[in-house]
Amino acid sequence: MVEEHRLILRGKQCAADLSAALIKAFFRDLTATLGMTLWKGPWSWRMQEEGKEPGFSGAVFWTESGTQLHHYASEAKVTVDIYSCKRFNVVEAQRLFELYFRPEETLNCIPVLGSSRG
């Protein structure tokens, strides 16, 4: 039976000065904080395609699954989507998110834990 654990964090009006280096550091700390095993990454890049929302995106892959991040510069919003086949501490994940991105408010903290498929 495969376990599925997920947490989506959305930071509103984030005060952090985002950069690819900051996002990669967040992914490294998140990997250690949640006790995951790094498989590939972390990566981060600036989105500057004409007609698209500017900001940063990034991803990291773990042997237990991984996470992705999207930043919307016009709204100073950061969204992180954590998915894992291993249970993790959602309180510590949110604490680290808030430490790095300094949102005025963390919205839609949605833990979907303990679901499984047969």
Residues constituting the chain: 118
Residue 118 has pLDDT above 70, yes or no: no
pLDDT (average), residues 90-98? 95
Q: Which pLDDT belongs to residue 105?
A: 93
74: which DSSP letter?
G
Q: Which pLDDT belongs to residue 103?
A: 97
- What is the domain count for the chain? 1
Residue-wise pLDDT for 17-28, tens only, equals 999 999 999 999
How far is Cα 82 from Cα 69, in angstroms, rounded to an integer? Answer: 9
Domain enclosing residue 74, as ranges: 2-117
Cα–Cα distances in angstroms (integers) from residue 52 to residues 9, 22, 60, in the given order = 22, 22, 23
Tell how strand 65-72 and strand 38-47 pair up. unpaired
Residue 114 has pLDDT above 80, yes or no: no
Q: Which pLDDT belongs to residue 116?
A: 42
- Residue 115: pLDDT band (50, 70, 90) is very low
The contacts of residue 108 (CB under 8 Å, 6+ apart) are: 8, 9, 10
Q: In degrees to the nearest 10, what's the CA dihedral of 26, 95, 69, 33?
A: 50
Q: How many alpha carbons lie under 13 Å from residue 91 in its C-beta half-sphere?
A: 0
The token duo for 26 is 């967040």
How far is Cα 115 from Cα 74, in angstroms, rounded to an integer? Answer: 35
Residue-wise pLDDT for 54-72, tens only, equals 899 999 999 999 999 999 9
Residue 35 has pLDDT above 60, yes or no: yes
CATH number at residue 46: 3.60.90.10
The whole-model pTM stands at 0.87
